[in-house]
Amino acid sequence: MSAGPEVSIIMPVRNEAASLDAALASVCSQATDAPVEVIVVDDHSTDSSRSIIELWAARDKRVRLVSSPRRGIPQALNCGLEAARGRYLVRVDGHSIIPPGYVQALVDHIRSDACEGAGGHKRAVGRGPFGRAVAAAHGSRFGIGDSKYHFTQRLELVDHIPFGAYVTELARVIGGWDEGLRTNEDYDFDFRYQQAGGRLLFDPAIVVDWRVRETPTRLAHQYYAYGRGKFTTLARHPSSLRLRWLAPPMLVGSMTAGILLFRTTPGRVLLAVVGGSYALFLVAGAAILGSRVGGRLAPHAALALGIMHLSWGTGFLASAGMEVPGRILGFPRLRA
């Protein structure tokens, strides 16, 4: 073994004081044979996050505080990538909890030459009734489509992994994370990583806990941003299109058309058909999720599903409305 770290864990942080201690405790208690460094990148926090990082750095020499000169998650990640000394890098969030064997399991897959990137299940965790309903929606096909890292039980190559491990040099070759994206930067990174020859392996035995938004307002903001980011990623990489991405914007577009044309018979029919079908979908989805997490959470689940779908679809259409005309007229590409 060389004297330097083999693995660089990169953690971008902005105002994560409520969960940062637990996240760093899980990172620093990793049981691994690889020398590790923990690069915590402060993204202009205004709470006590920076003080928490400084305390950890003072008592654990593996922890390094890096200040990002530019605001944004991709910018913070690239600061961490620039500072990384390890052969491999692992991305972790300041509100995520990783089990003790997480890093070892990811790195072992890459060491075995089975892949150039590895990740596992992203298990959503909520505290209150609404949060638990959101977590159930995240882990089902009703809420997030067919992203395999939420529910599949097979070891297989996939198009995207959450909080994965990568080869540091290949991450640098592709230019790191796209700083023109405010959301969906991980999917964009994975897409370009695979284009450069990086195979991504999903292992269902590896699990990371990720805390969901606990209020309807915060969930709506989150999914609106996700939808905007997805369209921007699609505009950059048209071949990445998945048909499931079109369902939420088609839903929002159809319902909006029905409302605008409500004074006409076709408009009322459209709204009745689309709105009625979607209401039945929400009832069925909430009932199934309620059977898994408790019937009293079914109304929360219906609300969570509706917010996720409609906010995502609205964000997607809003991004399209701003970017498509600019592309047609030859204007510069907009930020997500």
Tens digit of each residue's pLDDT (9 = 90 or more) over 53-99 = 999 999 999 999 999 999 999 999 999 999 999 999 999 998 888 99
| Mean pLDDT of the residues in the chain | 90
In sequence order, what DSSP letters do the residues of 205-250 get, joined into one string? EEEEEEEPP-SHHHHHHHHHHHHHHHHHHHHH-GGG--GGGGHHHH
**Taking the alpha carbons of 96, 44, 165, 8 in that order, is the dihedral positive or negative?**
negative
Q: What is the mean pLDDT of residues 130-146?
A: 83
| Number of other residues whose CB lies within 10 A of the CB of residue 10 | 26
Q: What is the mean pLDDT of residues 98-108?
A: 95
Q: What is the mean pLDDT of residues 119-134?
A: 91
Which residue, among 61, 58, 52, has the nearest Cα to 24 in the 3D structure? 52
Chain segment 295-333, per-residue pLDDT in tens: 899 999 999 999 999 999 999 999 998 766 555 445 444
Asked if the model's pLDDT at residue 213 lies above 80, the reply is yes
pLDDT band at 51 (very low <50, low <70, confident <90, very high): very high
pLDDT (0 to 100) of residue 242: 82
pLDDT (0 to 100) of residue 331: 46
Instruction: Return the minimum-mean-pLDDT range out of 108-117, 136-145, 180-189, 271-280.
Output: 136-145
Q: Which residues contact 138 (CB under 8 A, 6 or more apart)?
A: 124, 144, 150, 212
7-212: CATH number: 3.90.550.10
Chain segment 173-212, per-residue pLDDT in tens: 999 999 988 888 999 999 999 999 999 999 999 988 888 8
pLDDT (0 to 100) of residue 240: 83
Bigger pLDDT: 122 or 21?
21
Asked if the model's pLDDT at residue 43 lies above 70, the reply is yes
| CA gap 212, 22 in Å, rounded | 15
Domain ranges of the chain: 7-212, 234-329
pLDDT band at 123 (very low <50, low <70, confident <90, very high): confident
Asked if the model's pLDDT at residue 30 lies above 60, the reply is yes
Instruction: Give first-to-last CA distance, the chain, whole Å.
Output: 42
For residue 331, CA distances in Å to 177, 183, 317 come to 23, 22, 18
Chain segment 265-298, per-residue pLDDT in tens: 999 999 999 999 999 999 999 999 999 888 899 9
How many residues in total does the chain contain? 336
| CA gap 249, 253 in Å, rounded | 6
